[in-house]
Structure 1
Amino acid sequence: MIVTGLRKIESWVVAVAIVANVSGAFVLLSLVAIMNVDVVSRNLFNAPFRGVVEVVVFSLALIVFLQLPDVVRTGRLTRSDGFLGLLRTHRPRLGDALTRVLDGIAFLFMCLIVWTVWPEFTESFESCHFFTPPEFGAPATGNLWVDFKTALGRCDYFGTPGILQAPWWPVRLAIAFGCAWAAILFFFKTILGDTQDTRHVTAQTSGEE
């Protein structure tokens, strides 16, 4: 009964991971489009896209951490698993037990990352003063759009002033979300085992269909 309930919860967690992966793919497509626009405008019109470096940095962080949970789900997180693969082939029970131990360690590491990043996210988000009156600057006017743009200008940001600036909190939120969801998936792998029928690409399996 408990296992059945955990598997139902896991299915919802997996669904969110897939949606996050698709979102990361859309960010990647947008990045490719921006890079192509920069190349064309730079070579044909001698007018490079201003802030392309900042866009790349911002997008890469979003792509990596939005797609991290689905990478964990499918078992394609980069690792050296030659010994583990042999052990699971010749001693399945011992191999499965060791896999669960490693997933449990990965769960702890992901939790540590979330514990480290979350205060940074809250600090950068609170610097915008979306819901609280700012200590300095113009007070709220009551116009939601005007107040929102004013708050964005107060945010802790990265980039180059006058070229492109973006608030830090969306990136830190993506990092916290990606690591938290990866931790949840590692937790289910530790408790329930790896239910995904996946094979890692190794020297032994790279030529198999």
Structure 2
Amino acid sequence: MSGAAEPRGNPTPAALPQTGLLGRIAAIASAVGTAWILLMMVLVNADVIGRAALSAPIRGVPEFVGLSIVGIVFLQAGHALASGRFTRSDALLDQLAQRRPRVAAGLDAVHSLAGAAFFSILAWALWPRLLRAIAEGDYVGAAGDFTLPVWPIRVLMVAGSVMVIGIYLILAAAALRRVAGGRS
């Protein structure tokens, strides 16, 4: 193999900065999200069969699925980021890393800090909505038929955002170490 730098877009697990306890929590949250997807699939299939064969749909499936998608995204975002699978375009970084690795690392640090800032704004904006959902008992569905509280999903949104912030800060610190000439 040539001595060219490996592209950042698909890093090997050894090339990623260690995220420690936060990374393990993110992996567990992602596994919970995967189990939730399986549960959702079973429920949707049972609803379809119930509608077609028995003319008896399962109440609340659309509401459950709608809330679930949001919850699953926030459960799995941290692990996707920590494992190098968060969507981003690395064409410029890959080219820059071959010629100017410290500049590329600096740009990577800026990217990670911007990501942390974005998710900080998101968590800040979600927090009052979480408190309001708890205080006012917000729900989805039709009262008297089927309702689901919104606050558990809002908790996942805030917690998932905080987890992503932490992982972005770990990635930024590793990139800054590369800028300084140290190892990540």
Normalising by structure 2, we get a TM-score of 0.81
Number of positions where the alignment pairs a residue of Structure 1 with one of Structure 2:
161
**1:156 paired to 2:156:** no
Q: Which amino acid aligns with 1:168?
A: V
Residue 98 of structure 1 aligns to a residue in which SS? Answer: helix
Q: Deviations over 1:7-27 (max 9, x none)?
A: 88x401111111111111111
Confirm or deny that 1:67 pairs with 2:76.
yes
Decide which of 127, 132, 156 is 1:123's aligned counterpart: 132
Q: CA deviation at 1:161?
A: 2.0
Asked if 2 retains the 8 angstrom alpha-carbon contact of 1:21 and 1:70, the reply is: yes
Give the whole-Å Cα distance in 2 for the aligned partners of 1:77 and 1:17: 13
| Paired residue secondary structure (1:76) | coil
Q: Say whether residues 1:15 and 2:24 are aligned partners.
A: yes
Q: Deviations over 1:81-134 (max 9, x none)?
A: 22222222333222111111110111111111111101111222233xxxxxxx
- Distance in 1, matches of 2:35 and 2:113, equals 31
| Whole-angstrom CA distance in 2 between matches of 1:80 and 1:159 | 39
Tell me the residue number matched to 1:171.
153
Q: State the match for 1:57 in structure 2.
A: 66
* Paired position in structure 1 for 2:102: 93
CA–CA distance in 2 between the matches of 1:171 and 1:85?
37
**Greater CA drift, 115-124 or 170-179:** 115-124
Mapped partners of 2:51, 2:96: distance in 1: 54
Preserved contact between residue 39 and residue 48 of structure 1 (Cα < 8 Å): yes
**Is the aligned partner of 1:192 residue 2:174?**
yes
Q: 3-state DSSP class of the match of 1:61?
A: helix
Q: In the aligned structure 2, how far is the partner of 1:91 from the partner of 1:160?
A: 58
Query: What is the one-letter code of the residue matched to 1:54?
Result: E
Residue of structure 1 equivalent to 2:51:
42
Aligned match of 1:105: 114
Aligned equivalents of 1:35, 1:157: Cα separation in 2: 20
Tell me which moved more, 51-60 or 73-82.
73-82
CA RMSD of aligned residues (A): 2.0
1:27/1:62 contact within 8 Å kept: no
* Contact kept in structure 2, 1:103 and 1:186, CA below 8 Å: yes
Partner-residue secondary structure (3-state), 1:170: helix
1:179 maps to a residue whose letter is: S
Identical aligned residues as a percent: 29
**Please, which runs of 5 or more residues in structure 1 have no aligned partner?**
1-6, 128-154, 195-209
Counterpart in 1 of 2:13? Answer: none
* Larger Cα-atom Rg: 1
